[in-house]
Structure 1
Amino acid sequence: MKQIILMRHGKSSWDYDVSDKDRPLQEKGVKDAHLVSNTFKLHAPNLDFAFSSPANRALHTSMIFVRNLGLDFSKFRVEKSLYDFSGDGVQHFVSNLDNNLHTVALFGHNYAFTSLANTWGDQYIENVPTAGLVHITFGVDDWSRISKGTTKQMVFPKHLKK
């Protein structure tokens, strides 16, 4: 069985005159990333590896998640192909993952993550919000064979706030 955790980066700031890749998280984005990762860790599967887009906002989100889940940093890598908004680059990356990895977390961007959550999962999601997490399981043992899986869990910040 393969499992994938898709997590969209936290809310980013437009207050700085920087390139898209260099945009930082807002304070809200940091808080939401902590909230979602701390909620997810209560029922999280053991992660084999985590991969992040090189964009600052995704990388910062992934660092919060990795620390809160206690994942060893030797099981983390920045992956250029996750700086993708269509989903094609992410899909290609996943299909070429090492089959010794069973559960992976990916940190990246919309529209890619909403599209893939709907392509791979069995529950329609109108939009994966910033700092939103979608956990999908697949009944195959080869990453190149994943298609329709089961949406096991969705953790969105708005559902966690009172």
Structure 2
Amino acid sequence: MSADTSRRIVLLRHAKADWPEVSDHDRPLAERGRKDAPAAGLKLAETGIVFDLALCSTATRTRETWKLAVQELPYRPRTVYEERLYEASPGELVALLNETSDEVADLLVIGHNPGTHALADLLSGRAEGDGLARMNRSGFPTAALAVVSFTGSWKSLEPGVGTLLDFWTPKDH
């Protein structure tokens, strides 16, 4: 794939987690999260995007979100569980995405806030429709997803290069 390849990143925040007496990394999904994760999977399927790769945080709630969401997809993309997604800053997330192989055109990232929202906002220099306003008004709730497109290599990914194509929350369905 050349440097002028159009690429898409879908940023999915984990579904609603419970607060049992475990470490933050080990928090499981709450009942609402177990309902919202498949809805997010249906929305992922509706986008028609064929993901070349899914990067998922190693935290329990992100892995459980992905396990439920992926069942709604017509295929299962290659999945890499990436511990650097947990508690990552927007700058750390951009650095991680810069490592992505240029063979990957469409990437799904299952992560956490505030990094997921901050990254979607940081990358989106433009937006189609009212997606940016809705995303910033809602604060990127659990199980929400943003679709961002950009043109170029993954190494060229930087603030403002993307267009927010879609923003969805479980309340939208």
Structure 2: distance between partners of 1:89 and 1:102: 20
Kindly state the Cα deviation for residue 39 of structure 1 after the two structures are TM-superposed. 2.5
SS at match of 2:46: coil
2:156 matches 1:152: no
What's the TM-score once normalised by structure 2's chain length?
Answer: 0.85
SS at match of 1:46: coil
Structure 1: distance between partners of 2:162 and 2:94: 14
2:24 matches 1:20: yes
Percent of matched pairs sharing the same residue: 29
C-alpha distance 31-115 of structure 1, shift in aligned 2 (>3 A): same
SS at match of 1:41: helix
Given that residues 40 and 155 in structure 1 are in contact (C-alpha distance below 8 angstroms), is that contact kept between their aligned partners in structure 2?
A: no
**Aligned pairs, how many?**
157
Kindly state the Cα deviation for residue 43 of structure 1 after the two structures are TM-superposed. 2.4
Given that residues 13 and 25 in structure 1 are in contact (C-alpha distance below 8 angstroms), is that contact kept between their aligned partners in structure 2?
A: yes
Given that residues 55 and 109 in structure 2 are in contact (C-alpha distance below 8 angstroms), is that contact kept between their aligned partners in structure 1?
A: yes
Q: Which moved more, 1:151-160 or 1:99-108?
A: 151-160
Given that residues 84 and 90 in structure 1 are in contact (C-alpha distance below 8 angstroms), is that contact kept between their aligned partners in structure 2?
A: no
2:134 matches 1:130: no
Kindly state the Cα deviation for residue 86 of structure 1 after the two structures are TM-superposed. 2.1
Indicate the RMSD between aligned Cα atoms, in angstroms.
Answer: 1.4
Q: Could you tell me which runs of 5 or more consecutive residues in structure 1 were left unpaired when the two chains were aligned.
A: none
2:143 matches 1:107: no
Q: Could you tell me which runs of 5 or more consecutive residues in structure 2 were left unpaired when the two chains were aligned.
A: 1-5, 127-131
Letter in 1 for 2:25: K
